[in-house]
Each structure stands twice: as C-alpha cells, then as structure tokens.
Amino acid sequence: MCSIHYTNVLQQPIKQYIIETNKQIRIKDIAEKAHVSIGTVDRVLHNRGEVAESTKKKILKIVEELDYHPNILASTLASKKSAVFATLLPQPPSIEGYWNKPFIGIKKRIVELRQYGVQIQPFTFNQTESKSFVTESEKILELKPDGVVFAPFFKKESVKFIEKLNKQEIPFVFIDSEIKNVGQLSYIGQDSYQSGLVSGKLLDMIIPDGNILVIHFAKEMDNQNHLVQREKGFYDWFLNKEDNKHQLFTCEIANTDGTGWMKKIKEKIIRKKIKGIFVTNSKVFFIGRLLQKLNSSDIKVIGHDLLKENVEFLKKDVVQFLICQRPEEQGYNAINKLFRNIVQKRVIAKENYTSIDIVTKENVNYYKGFK
Amino acid sequence: MCSIHYTNVLQQPIKQYIIETNKQIRIKDIAEKAHVSIGTVDRVLHNRGEVAESTKKKILKIVEELDYHPNILASTLASKKSAVFATLLPQPPSIEGYWNKPFIGIKKRIVELRQYGVQIQPFTFNQTESKSFVTESEKILELKPDGVVFAPFFKKESVKFIEKLNKQEIPFVFIDSEIKNVGQLSYIGQDSYQSGLVSGKLLDMIIPDGNILVIHFAKEMDNQNHLVQREKGFYDWFLNKEDNKHQLFTCEIANTDGTGWMKKIKEKIIRKKIKGIFVTNSKVFFIGRLLQKLNSSDIKVIGHDLLKENVEFLKKDVVQFLICQRPEEQGYNAINKLFRNIVQKRVIAKENYTSIDIVTKENVNYYKGFK
DNA sequence: TTTTTTCCCGTGTACGAACACGAAAATTTA
DNA sequence: TAAATTTTCGTGTTCGTACACGGGAAAAAA
C-alpha cells in the first residue's frame, strides 16, 4: 500500500516525461495529415500570407490534436533573429563595487544566450548626477533595443524614461528597486522592508541592551527609496516588540571624502551609548574602518552585501552579519526574464523577490561563488 | 579621469560582447580558410575517420585563431542524440516530504532540456531498506543510462554500485551527501560540518545560558554520515569558545512511531535543564509538536529544511531557525552538471557546495518559491 | 606496369523551422 | 471567351552541424 503511494509521488509522474520527450512532432507531420504543403501550415502558424478559412481551421485542429510544439532549436537556428537588450545601471566606483555584481550575472546569461543571437548594449550613469541618467536613457531610446534592464535610481527621471519606453513599446525590467505599476515586465530585487525587519531581529538578538544607530551612506535619500524601506522595517522590529530595551537613532552621511563624518559618528556613539550599528547599504566597510581605529569591540554591526571589504570585516568579527541579496543572480535573472518573454514569448512572473540571505563568518564562503 | 575609469569597468568590457556575439564562425569558414572540405574539418573536430597529420594541424591552428565554438543549436539539431539520465533518490513519505524537493528541481531542468532530447528515468528506494537500494541500482545498470544522479545513502551498497558504474563508464553525480574520491563527476550538497557550526553559533546567540540537546531522528546513523558531520560542527562551535556556558547532550531517536520517544526526550529536557534543541535533519517538526504539547516557550529550537510543517512551527515561533540548503536548486544543478558534461562535453566543477541559508520567520517567505 | 590496399578527403543529405518566390486555381473584369 | 486580378498554396533554399558513402591519390604488393 505504502509503496504504491510512494510510486505515485515520485516515479509515476516522470514516466510521463519519457513518453512526452520521445515524440517530436514536426510541421511536416501536420502538413501530411492535413493533405497540404508545409508552406501552408507555416502560414497558418505564423499568420502570414493568406490561407483559406477552411484549411486554416483544419490545420489548427490537427495542431491541437497532435499537441505540436515548435522545436526551438530549429526555430532560432533558421530565423536568425537577434534581440538586443540594453542595460542601464549605476557606474561602480571600482571593479569591486556593488554594481559590478549584477553585471557579472548579466554577462553570464548573455554568454549563454550567444547561440540565440541575443546581444547586449550596456549603459551606465553616475549615481551623483541625475543628468547622466537622462543622457544615457536617451541613448537607449535612440538605439531602440528589444528590451531594457534598468535600476530606477532617480524616480522623476525614471518615470519620464518609462513613458517613452511604453510609447515605443519596449519592454523593461526593474532591478534592485522598483516603481509600482508603470508597465514593467517584472521586478527583480529584494523586499527592502522585510530585509530591514530581519536586520532588526538579528541585531536585537545579539545585543542584550544598549542603543542602536542606523546609518545611511547616501547623497540624496529620496533617490534611494529602498534605504528608507529598510530603515522602516528595522524600526518596526523594535516598535512591535513588547518591552523593548533599545533606543534607536538615525544618521545620514552624504559625504565620505574627508574624515568629518567619522568625528560625527564617533561622537554620536559615545554620547548616545551606542552598542549596535545598522548600515542600510553596502557601505558598511566605512564603519568597519572606523571601529577598527577606535578599537572598540563591544559594538555589533550589521550591514548589506558581500563586497570584498565587507567580507573582510565579517571575517575579522568587526561586522557580525551581512544581509545579502545575490546581486549576480539578480542580473542573471533580469536578462533571463527578457529572454523568456521577448525571444521565447513566454509568460513570466511580475515579481521576483530575491531571498534575504543572512550571512555570517561561518557561512560566507558558500555565498561567494556565483554558479 | 574618473569617468574613464568607470568606462573601463563597465562599458568597455561589454562592447566586446557585442562584437563577439555578432560573428558566428562556421565550420565552413574554417574549411575555406584551410583550403579543405567541410568533411575534413568535421573529422578533425570529432576525431573520426583519418586525416593527414599536416592538415589536421593546420585546421586546429585555424580553429584556435578564429576561436571557433560549435553552434549548439545546430549541433544538437543535427545529431539528434538523446541522453538518458537516471536518478536514484529516497522515496518521500508524502508529496510534502523532503526528497520531493530535489526532484522538483530535477523535473524543471528536464523540461527545459526537452528540446535537447534529454530524458530522465527516475528510481527511488526505501530509506529503511538497503535492499531496495540494491534492487533499484541494478535496474539502473540494466538500463545503461548516459548519466546517473544519486544519493549515496547506504555507504557499502553505494560503493558497490559505483564500482559497476565505473566499469560501465557511466558518469554519476552525488547529491545531498558524498563519498570522497570514487570517480564522481561532481557533488552537489551542503558542507555539513560547516552548517553545524552555523547552527551552533545561532543557538548560542539566542540562549544566554542553559543546556543544549542535539537530536538525531534517524534509523541508522552510519548511513547518514552528514548528520554526524553536522553534530560535529555544532559541538565544535562550543568547544572552540572561550568561557562556554552551555553543556551539550546528544540523543538518537530511531523510531517515532509511538509516543515512547516523546517521554524519553521530555524527561531529558527536565533532568538536564535543556534550554536549546538542535535537530540535525528535517524532522524538527517532531520537536515542534512535542513542545507545543508541553507548552514550554522558553526552549529555543533550530533544525533543518523548509518542510511545510517546519515552516509552520517557524511562523509560530516554536522553532527559531531553520537551516536550509535549497534542495530544489540542488536537483536542478545535478541534472545540469550531467547535461553540461555529457551532452555539451564541457568541463565542470568537482564540487558544488550549496549555500548554508539561515531562515527565520521574517525571511522565510522569500525562500519558498523556486524560480 | 598493373593490381591491390591503405590512406585521405569531397559530396550529399538530414535535422526542423523560416521565409521568399512564384505557380496554380478561383474570381473578377473587359 | 480571353485577359486581368485576386486568392490560395507548393517548392526550394537557408541556418550550422552531423554523418554516411564513395571516389581519388598514394603507397604497397603483384
């Protein structure tokens, strides 16, 4: 009895695959069965040329019956159609920068899709100049790509860009952050609010008491909506807790060029008796450097993203947790969404929230490689 | 100056892709350049027939020069070779069982590879009967598949199976657990020891003091080497800690049919003043049920794998952490390894350690879907 | 020198779909 | 009734690779 049940669960369903896989119905088979030529079937399937209504019906019926699925290999081989995708991402300050990571994933998928004739044209903008975003986005519109992946970093400028994309009927996918309901094919990224909650829980767990400092390293906060969301989630963790022993403070650092910001934070740490720090983005290594200088090991730190420098501080126990969102995977998935929708014409999911990975010294090694 | 640097990082490298992608070098191009026929180049590339040493050299040189890569589409289309892969996994007790998850990933990859003529023939064995493992493995040898994915659950029996696979020159991939250096193509799974360390750290973090109980739910421990490894990592976390406040106990439960095991554990919890429990596999829901009955909320629990029932206890705050290893992804990757090596004849990595994911109530929702 | 054998290599067809070209049949117009 | 149109459909080539078959040249044997 039991074994029958088991069999149903695992073995039966797959036998189907074997059978399904064996028969490849060709357009020729349909033609023969309908007593027409291949060309006629072709016209019916692609809505080109003219076909008598009666034969069209007959053919479609047979297509249904035989459950015909075109062979993608032969199809793309013959058509030689090549899609061009454009990407618009912030410029990473160096090869180690965060924004190089999604790009690694993008490259990987593009290389895999080379055979399908998919090409990519990357554009980058300067995170501190909305103007560069506009300039580059106009270049994209000029290029008229078949699809676009971009990070809607500057909201106002992005909305304008989107309007034009919609007018030109160019599908697009958001990566990293999103604008709701503006016609995007999909969004690839993290649920920022929820990741803030996770950060809150973790930091709460490791500091029994003492106050907490939330730090934004960002020029203009309104452009970085997801940093605000993360902060909100973080605060909410403590708000929703009965008998909360921590007090929270927030601090925005717009400029990290000199050492002015260090003084500011240092002072705040002492004055407010800070025992825990949450950095809302990948710039947590700044705090790592600071704490190393101060030589204070009783302050716990949590931040985002597996930048090389961040990982170093994680391994040195200066940073306790890094929240990570698998940016390479995001880039990979973004291109894949475009490919599946535009080239393969499949229906795809509107949202694709990346997992919120909790990374510590002990499991970091298994996050580093991107496969 | 800066912008030049940026350009180098992101924009330049990709322009190359565009160029690379454009030119598809055909075997015909090589033939023309070498002043030979297509057939000759074909023979050189596939080591078939006989070709004069001199022309062979000449052709290979041109292949290098032009950086020729065969068009997989055309190749598989023309060859019509279809690989058959076999899988040998434990039978899941129900559709919700753990071992259904890797299988979901396997199915997904198989569906994607249907066009490539890849087929799958699944076999399952009973976790409590090594004999069923032997029977099924013999069926596989009879089938003579082009590749095998299996979980070496019973060590002795697996070794025998492997010997025969090697003799028949059938490549195989381990999933979930591994036997070292027996000729496997690859291993897909977690680093059990390291995941034990992570569990130790987490449990240590959330219980300031009190003793800890490690529970194995398994019939025969020697078959489940990775459970032992997890335990070892767990213990080592506390051993390597200066000033450890916890005492650890281990308990093996071979049979969960009656309620006998519950009494045993209940007694142990009280007698040893247990404040934390670590379950070394996915059976943590048993402890969830027990604790719910006991109505004791001051015991923290950590276990493995996102089974539906486990997730429920996670959401009810009965279980604090679940360590997860993305079993669907593992199944997907296992088939992919076989495909890349056998069909596409690429070189693949010997080991593929899955990430050690830390899952809590707050981020669990982003782990549930498999994309 | 002729025949046989070995060694090289070119040609042709197939895989399944896409698409262009133009021919046959049906219809309308002169 | 013939000519001009329109509607409908069949044939042939192409994509890049795989592979079978057989032909020609060179080397060995007669």
Residue A120 pLDDT grade (very low, low, confident, very high; cuts 50, 70, 90): confident
Q: What whole-number percentage of chain B has pLDDT above 90? A: 58
Question: Cβ separation of B120 and A91 shorter than 8 Å?
Answer: no
pLDDT value for B16:
35
Minimal Cβ distance to B119: which of A18, A115, A122 = A18
Interatomic CA distance for residues B34 and B28, integer angstroms? 10
Tell me how far CA of residue A51 lies from CA of A46, A47, B281, in angstroms.
11, 9, 62
Q: Is the CB of A23 under 7 A from strand C?
A: no
In chain D, which nucleotides are within 7 Å of a protein Cβ? Answer: 7-12, 14-22
Please write the tens of the pLDDT for every residue from A222-274: 766 789 999 999 999 999 988 888 999 999 998 888 888 999 999 999 998 99
- Separation in Å: C23 C1' and A37 CA: 14
Interatomic CA distance for residues B343 and B117, integer angstroms? 10
Task: Please check whether residue B354 is in contact with residue B132, taking contact to mean a CB–CB distance below 8 angstroms.
Answer: no
Q: Which residues touch B327 (CB under 8 Å, ≥6 apart)?
A: B98, B101, B102, B105, B176, B305
More confident residue, A138 or B225: A138
Which residues from chain B sit within 8 angstroms of residue A13, using beta carbons? 107
pLDDT value for B367:
86
Instruction: Point out which residues pair with B214 in neighbouring strands.
Output: B250, B278
Chain B closest-CA separation from residue A102 CA (Å): 11
Please write the tens of the pLDDT for every residue from A184-200: 999 999 999 999 999 99
Q: Is the CB of A33 under 7 A from strand C?
A: no
Task: For an interface test with B, give the residue of A5, A358, A365, A367 to mutate (most B CBs within 10 A).
Answer: A358
Judged by a CB distance cut-off of 8 A, whether residue B210 touches chain A is: no
Minimal Cβ distance to A114: which of B14, B21, B82 = B21
Residue B369 pLDDT grade (very low, low, confident, very high; cuts 50, 70, 90): low
**Can you tell me which residue has its alpha carbon closest to the C1' of nucleotide D17?**
B75
Interatomic CA distance for residues A172 and B304, integer angstroms? 38
Interatomic CA distance for residues A116 and A83, integer angstroms? 9
Q: Is the CB of A26 under 7 A from strand C?
A: yes
Residue A23 pLDDT grade (very low, low, confident, very high; cuts 50, 70, 90): low
**Can you tell me which residue has its alpha carbon closest to the C1' of nucleotide C8?**
B51
Residue A366 pLDDT grade (very low, low, confident, very high; cuts 50, 70, 90): confident
pLDDT value for A15:
38
pLDDT value for B3:
28
What would the mean pLDDT of B174-183 be, rounded to a whole number? 92
Residue B148 reports pLDDT greater than 50: yes
pLDDT value for A114:
75
| Residues counted in chain A | 371
Residue A6 reports pLDDT greater than 70: no
Residue A106 reports pLDDT greater than 90: yes
Residue B354 reports pLDDT greater than 70: yes
Q: Which residue, among A152, A146, A144, A155, has the nearest Cα to A175 in the 3D structure? A: A152
For chain B positions 245-284, those within 8 Å of chain A (CB to CB) are: none
Judged by a CB distance cut-off of 8 A, whether residue A362 touches chain B is: yes
More confident residue, A19 or B291: B291
More confident residue, A368 or B156: B156
Residue A73 reports pLDDT greater than 90: no
Tell me how far CA of residue A41 lies from CA of A62, A191, B115, in angstroms.
10, 47, 21
More confident residue, B10 or A74: A74
Residue A10 pLDDT grade (very low, low, confident, very high; cuts 50, 70, 90): very low
Highest mean pLDDT among A48-57, A326-335, B291-300: A326-335
Q: Is the CB of A74 under 7 A from strand C?
A: yes
Chain A closest-CA separation from residue B190 CA (Å): 9
What would the mean pLDDT of A66-80 be, rounded to a whole number? 84
Cα angle for residues A288, A291, A296 (degrees, 5° grid) = 140
Residue B290 pLDDT grade (very low, low, confident, very high; cuts 50, 70, 90): very high
Residue A330 reports pLDDT greater than 70: yes
Judged by a CB distance cut-off of 8 A, whether residue B363 touches chain A is: yes
Residue B296 reports pLDDT greater than 80: no
Judged by a CB distance cut-off of 8 A, whether residue A135 touches chain B is: no
- Separation in Å: C16 C1' and A342 CA: 22
Q: Is the CB of A75 under 7 A from strand C?
A: yes
How many residue pairs bridge chain A and chain B with CB atoms within 8 Å of each other?
177
Residue B371 pLDDT grade (very low, low, confident, very high; cuts 50, 70, 90): low
Tell me how far CA of residue A262 lies from CA of A87, A219, A257, A321, in angstroms.
36, 16, 10, 22
Question: Cβ separation of B356 and A333 shorter than 8 Å?
Answer: no
Interatomic CA distance for residues B277 and A81, integer angstroms? 58
Residue of A nearest to B204 (CA): A206
Please write the tens of the pLDDT for every residue from A140-194: 998 888 999 999 989 899 999 999 999 998 999 999 988 989 999 999 999 999 9
Q: What whole-number percentage of chain B has pLDDT above 70? A: 92
Q: What whole-number percentage of chain A has pLDDT above 70? A: 92
pLDDT value for A369:
66
pLDDT value for B6:
33
pLDDT value for B111:
79
For chain A positions 140-199, those within 8 Å of chain B (CB to CB) are: 190-191, 194-195, 197-198
* The two structure tokens encoding residue B108: 């997904």
Judged by a CB distance cut-off of 8 A, whether residue B238 touches chain A is: no
Which residues from chain B sit within 8 angstroms of residue A366, using beta carbons? 190-191, 194, 353-356
Residue A297 reports pLDDT greater than 80: no
What would the mean pLDDT of B334-354 be, rounded to a whole number? 84
Query: How many Cβ atoms from other residues are within 10 Å of residue A64's Cβ?
Result: 9
Q: Is the CB of B73 under 7 A from strand C?
A: no
Please write the tens of the pLDDT for every residue from B45-70: 988 888 999 999 999 999 998 888 88
Instruction: Point out which residues pair with A121 in neighbouring strands.
Output: A86
Instruction: Point out which residues pair with B229 in neighbouring strands.
Output: none
Q: Which nucleotide is closest, CA of B52 to its C1'?
A: C8
Residue B11 reports pLDDT greater than 70: no
Weakest mean pLDDT among A300-309, B107-116, B172-181: B107-116
pLDDT value for A8:
36
